[in-house]
Amino acid sequence: RRAHLSRLFTTMTRHHHLGAGGVEVACDGPGIGAAALWDPPNRWQESRRAQLAQTPTFLRVFGFRTAKARGLQELMKSKHPEEPHWYLAVIGSDPDVRGRGFGQVLMRSRLDRCDAEYCPAYLESSKAENVPYYERFGFRVTGEIVLPDGGPTLWPMWRNPR
């Protein structure tokens, strides 16, 4: 599972997030301790070209469930806010450095930019226990997205600029 997720995130980063200029990393010596994938305002939707480039990886990772995975993406798109905003698609850290502030540095870096640009930020938390973490940065829960077929509940969160 971990190898599949790594392949999927690598492909999504290469074909969508990297070109938008919203990839930030915090290093732990020579390695990456944490990474955040942000999409700039009005750039959160993947282009058709990016979707096509990612299709072989989606097929390898999801197999016969590829259509279902794409359907979940469409459901999330339908719930996504229209107002221009920075979108935190993914943030994560190496378990060996978790709790050392790497994620906090990445959040603060981009949110400072949001504030300077007077631009809101948006994310979906896939874990209830992470909601208070994001609330400390000024995000507030705006609802719930219940994914079908026993999928996890997502908590959309919005942050107005300060």
Distance in angstroms (rounded) separating the CA atoms of residues 43 and 96: 32
Supply the pLDDT for residue 143. 95
| Radius of gyration of the chain from its Cα atoms, rounded to whole angstroms | 16
Phi-psi region of 109 (alpha: psi -120 to 50; beta: other; left: phi over 0): alpha
pLDDT tens, N- to C-terminus, the chain (162 residues) = 556 566 666 666 665 566 667 788 888 888 888 889 898 898 776 667 777 776 676 677 777 777 777 778 788 888 899 999 999 988 988 888 888 899 999 999 999 999 999 999 999 999 999 999 999 999 999 999 988 888 889 999 999 999
Tell me the CATH architecture of domain 2-159.
Answer: 3-Layer(aba) Sandwich (3.40)
Comparing CA positions, the residue from 104, 59, 86, 103 lying closest to residue 157 is 86
For the chain, give the number of residues. Answer: 162
The pLDDT value given to residue 64: 76
Contacts of 51 (CB under 8 A, 6+ apart): none
Query: What pLDDT does 13 receive?
Result: 65
Spatial distance between the Cα atoms of 158 and 143, rounded to a whole number of angstroms: 10
Token pair belonging to 63: 């197999």
